Amino acid sequence: MPEPVRVLVTGAAGQIAYSLLYSIGNGSVFGKDQPIILVLLDITPMMGVLDGVLMELQDCALPLLKEVIATDKEEVAFKDLDVAILVGSMPRREGMERKDLLKANVKIFKCQGAALEKYAKKSVKVIVVGNPANTNCLTASKSAPSIPKENFSCLTRLDHNRAKAQIALKLGVTADDVKNVIIWGNHSSTQYPDVNHAKVKLQGKEVGVYEALKDDSWLKGEFIKTVQQRGADVIKARKLSSAMSAAKAISDHVRDIWFGTPEGEFVSMGVISDGNSYGIPDDLLYSFPVVIKNKTWKFVEGLPINDFSREKMDLTAKELAEEKETAFEFLSSA
């Protein structure tokens, strides 16, 4: 048996974690022969609930779970980590400005970045899920200067999977038949779901999505809006935010970091924009198409960008630059 991988999930008493932990424990993420030490972190008032989660994980009797540690202490949670999945964040309350949300989360992610810096392995892979995910991720990275910034990524895979699913539904194929959709930019309603480079398998051969659908106005209008607003639509219907689909997307994202992306396929991830060839300013945490090999991501290069895409990509970059500026004001005073 290989050495156990030490994995932290924060916000571990919350509903996304509740959907995620079983997938990590049963081998769906790190492989069926990879033992795991699972560390669960939440705030002190949630420790009672977290005990219940711990009991359930024990009761799943999962052979790969070597140890499960539930804690409210950062020095316990962040010690010697191989992977940190930062799900916990301050949720947006009714009547709350995005600025207030940013301020509360800068504080959280500054602390967690500092804890990663102090206690985790320098090779740790950090995945930020808690919103505003891009800026939270950048904040954590800035607070952990000795961990390579390429080791930090944020989740836009849920948006990616939503885009894939919408195309598949429209064409009457399975989501597996659709590949290379892209989410550009921020995990917010300015994100740009782009299918200009996406392919779909129809009757055994691959065709471009635009060619297959022959419905440009849907692709440039309703499709984009549906993906951008999907999170809000789920909340409206369920009175709770997406948890099952978010957990599935986290599993996909982390598994791809661990095992790499399939040949000829790329995925969307929020990563540091330094050195990209798409005219996005450096030092933003922006979602790009990437391929992954040996646990290292690379930008997909050389995709032609039309005027429609350019405008949408710049708009979401502008929002991220503004968020960053606000966050960094707080960061210096936090």
Would you please indicate which residues are annotated as catalytic (active-site) residues?
187
Residue partners of 238: CB distance under 8 A and separation at least 6? none
Phi and psi at residue 37, to the nearest 5°: -105, 115
CA atoms of 22 and 61, how far apart (whole Å): 11
Nearest to 154 by CA among 129, 132, 121: 129
Residue partners of 169: CB distance under 8 A and separation at least 6? none
Q: Are 209 and 219 in contact (CB under 8 A)?
A: yes
CA atoms of 68 and 45, how far apart (whole Å): 19
For 127, the 3-state DSSP assignment is strand
CA atoms of 172 and 222, how far apart (whole Å): 17
Q: Are 227 and 262 in contact (CB under 8 A)?
A: no
Nearest to 197 by CA among 219, 228, 176: 219
Count Cα neighbours of 181 within 13 Å in the Cβ-side half-sphere: 28
Structure tokens of 57? 């994980």
Residue type, 83: V
Q: Are 323 and 102 in contact (CB under 8 A)?
A: yes
